[in-house]
Protein backbone atom coordinates (compact mmCIF):
# COMPACT_ATOMS: atom_id res chain seq x y z
CA UNK A 1 0.00 0.00 0.00
CA UNK A 2 1.44 3.32 -1.10
CA UNK A 3 1.21 6.47 0.91
CA UNK A 4 -1.85 8.55 0.09
CA UNK A 5 -0.15 11.88 0.79
CA UNK A 6 3.16 12.76 -0.71
CA UNK A 7 5.11 15.89 -1.38
CA UNK A 8 6.03 17.09 -4.88
CA UNK A 9 8.68 19.70 -5.56
CA UNK A 10 7.58 22.38 -8.01
CA UNK A 11 10.20 23.84 -10.40
CA UNK A 12 11.08 27.50 -9.95
CA UNK A 13 13.38 29.93 -11.72
CA UNK A 14 15.81 31.99 -9.67
CA UNK A 15 15.12 32.65 -6.04
CA UNK A 16 11.56 31.64 -5.18
CA UNK A 17 9.30 34.00 -3.32
CA UNK A 18 8.20 33.05 0.17
CA UNK A 19 4.74 32.18 -1.10
CA UNK A 20 6.08 30.04 -3.92
CA UNK A 21 8.50 28.22 -1.66
CA UNK A 22 5.74 26.77 0.43
CA UNK A 23 5.40 23.03 -0.01
CA UNK A 24 2.16 22.02 -1.69
CA UNK A 25 0.30 18.93 -0.70
CA UNK A 26 -0.37 16.61 -3.62
CA UNK A 27 -2.58 13.60 -3.82
CA UNK A 28 -3.20 11.07 -6.58
CA UNK A 29 -5.16 12.55 -9.43
CA UNK A 30 -7.50 9.60 -9.61
CA UNK A 31 -8.76 10.53 -6.16
CA UNK A 32 -10.18 13.74 -7.76
CA UNK A 33 -10.76 13.09 -11.42
CA UNK A 34 -10.22 9.37 -11.77
CA UNK A 35 -7.15 10.04 -13.93
CA UNK A 36 -3.59 9.07 -13.13
CA UNK A 37 -0.88 11.55 -12.17
CA UNK A 38 -0.62 14.26 -9.56
CA UNK A 39 -2.86 17.22 -9.17
CA UNK A 40 -2.28 20.11 -6.75
CA UNK A 41 -4.82 20.42 -4.03
CA UNK A 42 -6.68 23.64 -3.56
CA UNK A 43 -4.90 24.30 -0.28
CA UNK A 44 -1.39 24.19 1.05
CA UNK A 45 0.27 23.75 4.44
CA UNK A 46 -0.21 27.46 5.03
CA UNK A 47 -3.97 27.21 4.46
CA UNK A 48 -4.75 24.18 6.55
CA UNK A 49 -4.12 22.98 10.04
CA UNK A 50 -2.93 19.50 10.81
CA UNK A 51 -4.51 18.03 13.91
CA UNK A 52 -2.71 15.30 15.80
CA UNK A 53 -3.98 13.53 18.85
CA UNK A 54 -2.52 15.08 21.95
CA UNK A 55 -1.08 12.61 24.40
CA UNK A 56 -2.01 13.26 27.95
CA UNK A 57 0.95 14.13 30.16
CA UNK A 58 2.17 11.08 31.99
CA UNK A 59 5.19 12.53 33.81
CA UNK A 60 4.73 12.89 37.49
CA UNK A 61 6.78 14.81 40.00
CA UNK A 62 9.92 12.93 40.99
CA UNK A 63 9.81 11.73 44.56
CA UNK A 64 12.39 13.19 46.86
CA UNK A 65 15.33 10.93 47.49
CA UNK A 66 15.59 9.63 50.99
CA UNK A 67 18.99 9.60 52.67
CA UNK A 68 20.10 5.97 52.69
CA UNK A 69 23.69 6.27 53.94
CA UNK A 70 23.99 7.23 57.60
CA UNK A 71 26.55 9.81 58.64
CA UNK A 72 28.35 10.74 61.84
CA UNK A 73 25.56 13.20 62.61
CA UNK A 74 23.09 10.31 62.73
CA UNK A 75 25.41 8.25 64.94
CA UNK A 76 26.05 11.21 67.24
CA UNK A 77 22.34 11.68 67.74
CA UNK A 78 21.91 8.04 68.75
CA UNK A 79 24.89 8.15 71.12
CA UNK A 80 23.27 11.06 72.93
CA UNK A 81 20.42 8.76 73.91
CA UNK A 82 22.72 6.42 75.86
CA UNK A 83 23.27 6.67 79.57
CA UNK A 84 26.68 6.05 81.13
CA UNK A 85 26.21 2.29 81.42
CA UNK A 86 24.91 1.97 77.89
CA UNK A 87 27.78 4.03 76.48
CA UNK A 88 30.31 1.91 78.36
CA UNK A 89 28.77 -1.27 76.97
CA UNK A 90 28.86 0.20 73.46
CA UNK A 91 32.59 0.92 73.77
CA UNK A 92 33.13 -2.58 75.18
CA UNK A 93 31.40 -4.12 72.16
CA UNK A 94 33.48 -1.94 69.87
CA UNK A 95 36.64 -3.01 71.74
CA UNK A 96 35.87 -6.71 71.37
CA UNK A 97 34.79 -6.47 67.74
CA UNK A 98 38.21 -6.00 66.14
CA UNK A 99 41.83 -6.06 67.24
CA UNK A 100 42.52 -2.74 65.50
CA UNK A 101 39.95 -1.14 67.79
CA UNK A 102 41.87 -2.46 70.78
CA UNK A 103 45.10 -0.97 69.46
CA UNK A 104 43.34 2.34 68.90
CA UNK A 105 42.02 2.55 72.47
CA UNK A 106 45.31 1.36 73.98
CA UNK A 107 47.19 4.06 72.12
CA UNK A 108 44.61 6.76 72.84
CA UNK A 109 44.72 6.12 76.60
CA UNK A 110 48.46 5.25 76.70
CA UNK A 111 47.84 1.76 78.04
CA UNK A 112 50.48 -0.97 78.10
CA UNK A 113 54.28 -0.74 78.06
CA UNK A 114 54.27 1.09 74.72
CA UNK A 115 51.31 2.18 72.58
CA UNK A 116 53.49 1.56 69.53
CA UNK A 117 53.93 -2.17 70.10
CA UNK A 118 50.68 -3.26 68.46
CA UNK A 119 51.32 -1.10 65.41
CA UNK A 120 54.89 -2.35 65.08
CA UNK A 121 53.69 -5.94 65.18
CA UNK A 122 51.25 -5.24 62.34
CA UNK A 123 53.95 -3.53 60.30
CA UNK A 124 56.49 -6.31 60.86
CA UNK A 125 53.99 -8.98 59.80
CA UNK A 126 53.11 -6.99 56.67
CA UNK A 127 56.62 -5.96 55.59
CA UNK A 128 58.60 -9.03 56.64
CA UNK A 129 56.35 -12.10 56.84
CA UNK A 130 57.77 -15.36 58.13
CA UNK A 131 58.49 -17.07 54.81
CA UNK A 132 59.90 -20.14 56.56
CA UNK A 133 56.68 -20.87 58.40
CA UNK A 134 54.37 -19.74 55.61
CA UNK A 135 55.84 -20.13 52.14
CA UNK A 136 53.06 -18.20 50.40
CA UNK A 137 53.12 -15.31 52.82
CA UNK A 138 52.10 -12.04 51.21
CA UNK A 139 53.93 -8.75 51.63
CA UNK A 140 51.50 -5.87 52.12
CA UNK A 141 52.85 -2.33 51.95
CA UNK A 142 49.30 -0.98 52.27
CA UNK A 143 48.83 -2.70 55.64
CA UNK A 144 52.08 -1.25 56.97
CA UNK A 145 51.19 2.24 55.82
CA UNK A 146 47.72 1.89 57.31
CA UNK A 147 49.26 1.08 60.69
CA UNK A 148 51.05 4.44 60.64
CA UNK A 149 47.86 6.20 59.60
CA UNK A 150 45.83 4.47 62.32
CA UNK A 151 48.32 5.46 65.01
CA UNK A 152 48.30 9.05 63.78
CA UNK A 153 44.50 9.12 64.05
CA UNK A 154 44.51 7.49 67.48
CA UNK A 155 47.23 9.58 69.12
CA UNK A 156 48.68 12.05 66.63
CA UNK A 157 52.05 12.14 68.40
CA UNK A 158 54.70 13.31 65.88
CA UNK A 159 57.47 11.44 67.71
CA UNK A 160 55.44 8.24 67.61
CA UNK A 161 54.84 8.66 63.88
CA UNK A 162 58.57 9.25 63.37
CA UNK A 163 59.37 6.07 65.29
CA UNK A 164 57.02 4.08 63.08
CA UNK A 165 58.56 5.54 59.92
CA UNK A 166 62.05 4.57 61.07
CA UNK A 167 60.82 1.12 62.05
CA UNK A 168 59.23 0.76 58.59
CA UNK A 169 62.57 1.49 56.91
CA UNK A 170 64.59 -0.77 59.21
CA UNK A 171 62.31 -3.76 58.72
CA UNK A 172 62.02 -3.22 54.96
CA UNK A 173 65.79 -2.87 54.47
CA UNK A 174 66.54 -6.03 56.46
CA UNK A 175 63.89 -8.06 54.65
CA UNK A 176 65.00 -6.84 51.23
CA UNK A 177 68.66 -7.57 51.94
CA UNK A 178 68.02 -10.99 53.51
CA UNK A 179 65.71 -12.35 50.80
CA UNK A 180 66.64 -10.25 47.78
CA UNK A 181 63.15 -8.76 47.70
CA UNK A 182 63.24 -5.85 45.25
CA UNK A 183 59.62 -5.13 44.36
CA UNK A 184 59.37 -1.61 42.94
CA UNK A 185 56.37 -0.62 45.05
CA UNK A 186 58.05 -2.01 48.16
CA UNK A 187 61.28 -0.07 47.63
CA UNK A 188 59.40 3.06 46.65
CA UNK A 189 57.32 2.99 49.84
CA UNK A 190 60.48 2.49 51.91
CA UNK A 191 62.18 5.46 50.23
CA UNK A 192 59.13 7.65 50.84
CA UNK A 193 59.06 6.79 54.54
CA UNK A 194 62.78 7.57 54.77
CA UNK A 195 62.22 10.93 53.07
CA UNK A 196 59.37 11.84 55.43
CA UNK A 197 61.50 10.89 58.42
CA UNK A 198 64.31 13.16 57.21
CA UNK A 199 61.90 16.08 56.92
CA UNK A 200 61.21 15.98 60.66
CA UNK A 201 64.84 16.52 61.72
CA UNK A 202 64.52 20.30 61.89
CA UNK A 203 61.77 19.96 64.52
CA UNK A 204 63.80 17.67 66.82
CA UNK A 205 66.15 18.45 69.67
CA UNK A 206 68.84 16.44 71.40
CA UNK A 207 69.02 13.66 72.38
CA UNK A 208 66.22 12.58 70.01
CA UNK A 209 67.87 14.40 67.10
CA UNK A 210 71.18 12.59 67.53
CA UNK A 211 69.53 9.20 67.87
CA UNK A 212 67.36 9.81 64.81
CA UNK A 213 70.30 10.86 62.64
CA UNK A 214 72.25 7.80 63.74
CA UNK A 215 69.38 5.49 62.83
CA UNK A 216 68.94 7.22 59.46
CA UNK A 217 72.64 6.78 58.73
CA UNK A 218 72.47 3.08 59.62
CA UNK A 219 69.46 2.59 57.36
CA UNK A 220 71.26 4.35 54.51
CA UNK A 221 74.41 2.26 54.96
CA UNK A 222 72.46 -1.02 55.12
CA UNK A 223 70.34 -0.26 52.04
CA UNK A 224 72.69 -1.85 49.51
CA UNK A 225 70.03 -3.65 47.46
CA UNK A 226 70.81 -1.54 44.41
CA UNK A 227 68.28 0.41 42.34
CA UNK A 228 69.83 3.64 43.63
CA UNK A 229 68.08 3.36 47.01
CA UNK A 230 71.21 4.01 49.05
CA UNK A 231 72.16 7.04 46.96
CA UNK A 232 68.64 8.44 47.24
CA UNK A 233 68.69 8.07 51.02
CA UNK A 234 72.08 9.75 51.20
CA UNK A 235 70.78 12.70 49.19
CA UNK A 236 67.67 13.06 51.36
CA UNK A 237 69.63 12.89 54.61
CA UNK A 238 72.22 15.36 53.34
CA UNK A 239 69.54 17.83 52.28
CA UNK A 240 67.87 17.56 55.68
CA UNK A 241 71.15 18.13 57.55
CA UNK A 242 71.92 21.24 55.49
CA UNK A 243 68.62 22.78 56.63
CA UNK A 244 69.46 22.32 60.32
CA UNK A 245 70.46 25.42 62.31
CA UNK A 246 74.22 25.69 62.92
CA UNK A 247 73.80 25.11 66.64
CA UNK A 248 72.16 21.72 66.04
CA UNK A 249 74.65 20.75 63.35
CA UNK A 250 77.62 21.39 65.65
CA UNK A 251 76.05 19.19 68.29
CA UNK A 252 75.35 16.16 66.12
CA UNK A 253 77.76 16.29 63.16
CA UNK A 254 81.49 15.77 63.78
CA UNK A 255 83.65 18.67 62.73
CA UNK A 256 85.80 18.05 59.69
CA UNK A 257 89.50 18.55 60.08
CA UNK A 258 90.95 21.45 58.19
CA UNK A 259 92.85 20.34 55.17
**Rounded Cα gap, residues 194 and 139, in angstroms:** 19
Taking 90 as the threshold, does the pLDDT of residue 111 lie above it?
no
- What proportion of the chain, given as a percentage, has pLDDT over 90? 35
More confident call, 128 vs 21: 128
pLDDT value at position 117?
Answer: 86
Dihedral angle at the C-alpha atoms of 160, 165, 166, 168, nearest 10 degrees? 120
Kindly report, residue by residue over 18-66, the tens digit of the pLDDT.
555 555 455 554 445 555 555 554 444 455 555 555 656 555 666 666 6
Contacts of 171 (CB under 8 A, 6+ apart): 123, 124, 127, 128
Before 134, cis peptide (omega within 30)?
no
Kindly report, residue by residue over 91-108, the tens digit of the pLDDT.
777 677 666 677 777 766
Average pLDDT of span 213-239: 92
Task: Indicate the length of the chain as a whole number.
Answer: 259
pTM score: 0.62
The pLDDT confidence band at residue 258, using thresholds 50, 70 and 90, is very low
Average pLDDT, the chain: 76
* Chain centroid, CA 248 distance in Å: 38
* Closest by CA position to 236, among listed 190, 203, 204: 190
Amino acid sequence: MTRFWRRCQLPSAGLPSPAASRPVLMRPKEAVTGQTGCQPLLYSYADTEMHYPQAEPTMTEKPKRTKTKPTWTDVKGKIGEFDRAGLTQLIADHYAFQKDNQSFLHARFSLGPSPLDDYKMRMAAALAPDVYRKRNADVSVATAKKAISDYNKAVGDPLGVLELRLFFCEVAVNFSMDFGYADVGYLDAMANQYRDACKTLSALDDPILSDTIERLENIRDDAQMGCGIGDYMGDELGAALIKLPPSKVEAVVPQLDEM
